[in-house]
């Protein structure tokens, strides 16, 4: 079994990014700038945002955190999005999800200028990704593709099962895996894996286990701890665990531990490749955001 070490790969990519950004600065150019908008005090969101800002600082990207209380109105948040769209010192920005119930996520995401949409969540970027056009690709699927690529895990002709149909992970992941690589154009990631046969499963799927057993690669993004068990996995499969679930753990200092959607202990005995949680997909997601910020900076100076 080979552990897909997202932490290590992300650190290598950060070093590459740091070199590229140092070179820009050496030419007298300003560094790229990412703004992160957070609404309210969701503890998981606060951790993710802190990690994103730390990662920016590490590679020389200027990071601006813009925090609002949970009672901000939708129109005030839309006004902030418009302000960031117009701010020529900001190359890219994200609005951390989830948003409070009184704010429409799709209204906010649709208002983001797609050229600054470094989360790749606007309808424009999703549509461009579907058509194989240059786009800012959603961070988690992009990071997973990069992880597969750096471990030389081929996808051509493989059966990839994606569990989860979210706009952030499941849908764009399926698109990337089924993509014709030769449609990848300048501006897209250097890694252009695709050509897979993709099955997307979700909460209404019948006999998930039988479908998973036919998979060469399983990408689980269901938010359900321990969902993927060893009996659902073909010997030699590659397993990508996107789940980050907080489970009560009185023995830990924080009072909780993080577990994925995969029963790691047993699945790791059957799979050939597997991501740990934490340290697998999570660090790759953050590094993809940094790559997207540099891409936005280069494409729209
Ligand atoms: N919440 C959980 N993951 C993400 C992400 O990748 N982007 C944003 N904006 N919010 C999230």
Tens digit of pLDDT for each residue in 28-53? 999 999 999 999 999 999 999 999 99
How many CB atoms sit inside 10 A of residue 57's CB? 11
- Three-state DSSP at 2 gives strand
Task: Return d(Cα 78, Cα 84) in angstroms, integer.
Answer: 10
57: helix, strand or coil = helix
Query: Catalytic residue at 96?
Result: yes
Ligand 1 touching residue 137 (CB < 6 A): no
Q: Is this model's pTM higher than 0.85 or not?
A: yes
Contact 219, 178 (CB under 8 A): no
Active site annotation includes 119: yes
The atom number, within ligand 1, closest to the CA of 139 reads 6
| 94 pocket-lining for ligand 1 (C-beta < 6 Å) | yes
- From 3.30.450.70, 3.90.180.10, 3.40.50.2000, 3.40.50.10860, which CATH number describes the 28-113 domain? 3.40.50.10860
Poorest-confidence range of 123-132, 152-161, 174-183?
174-183
Beta strands in 17-137 (DSSP E): 33-39, 62-68, 92-95
* Atom in ligand 1 nearest the alpha carbon of residue 45: 1
Residue 168 has pLDDT above 80, yes or no: yes
Q: What is the mean pLDDT of residues 133-153?
A: 94
Cβ-contact 240, 279 below 8 angstroms: no
* Ligand 1 mutation pick, 84, 97, 246, 286, max ligand atoms within 8 A of CB: 97
Mean pLDDT computed over every residue of the chain: 95
Structure confidence by residue, pLDDT tens digits, 195-212? 999 999 999 999 999 999
Substitution candidate for ligand 1 out of 49, 55, 96 with most atoms within 8 A of CB: 96
| Beta strands in 165-262, from DSSP E residues, in sequence order | 197-201, 217-220, 238-241, 245-248, 256-259
> Any idea where the domains of the chain sit in the sequence?
28-113, 138-281
The answer to whether the CB of 96 is under 6 A from ligand 1 is yes
Q: How far apart are the first and last CA of the chain?
A: 44
Burial annotation 200-219 (CB, 10 A radius, 16+ → b, else e): bbeeeeeebeebbbebbbbb
The average pLDDT across 1-20 equals 97
* High-pLDDT (> 90) share of the chain, %: 93
- Domains 28-113 and 138-281 fall in the same CATH topology: yes
Q: What is the CATH code for 138-281?
A: 3.40.50.720
């Amino acid at each position: 079994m080979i552990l897909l070490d997202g932490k290590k790969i992300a650190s290598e990519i950060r070093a590459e990014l740091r070199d590229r950004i140092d070179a820009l600065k050496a030419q007298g150019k300003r560094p790229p700038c990412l703004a992160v908008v957070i609404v309210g005090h969701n503890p998981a969101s606060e951790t993710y945002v802190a990690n994103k800002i730390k990662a920016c600082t590490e590679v020389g990207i200027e990071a601006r955190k813009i925090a609002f209380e949970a009672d901000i109105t939708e129109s005030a948040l839309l006004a902030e999005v418009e302000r960031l769209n117009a701010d020529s010192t900001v190359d890219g920005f994200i609005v951390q999800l989830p948003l409070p119930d009184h704010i429409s996520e799709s209204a906010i995401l649709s208002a983001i200028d797609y050229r600054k949409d470094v989360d790749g969540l606007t309808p424009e970027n999703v549509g461009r990704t579907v058509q194989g056009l240059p786009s800012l690709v959603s961070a988690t699927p992009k990071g997973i593709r990069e992880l597969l690529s750096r471990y030389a895990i081929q996808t051509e002709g493989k059966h990839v099962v994606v569990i989860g149909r979210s706009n952030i992970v499941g849908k764009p992941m399926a698109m990337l895996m089924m993509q014709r690589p030769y449609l990848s154009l300048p501006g897209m990631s250097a890694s252009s894996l695709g050509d897979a046969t993709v099955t997307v499963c979700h909460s209404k799927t019948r006999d998930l286990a039988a479908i998973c057993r036919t998979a060469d690669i399983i990408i689980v993004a269901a938010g359900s701890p321990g969902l993927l068990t060893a009996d659902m996995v073909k010997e030699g499969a590659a397993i990508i665990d996107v789940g980050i679930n907080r489970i009560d753990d009185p023995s830990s200092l924080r009072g909780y531990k993080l577990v994925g959607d995969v029963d790691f202990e047993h699945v790791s005995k059957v799979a050939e490749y597997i991501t740990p949680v934490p340290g697998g997909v999570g660090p790759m997601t953050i590094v993809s955001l940094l790559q997207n910020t540099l891409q936005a900076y280069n494409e729209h100076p």
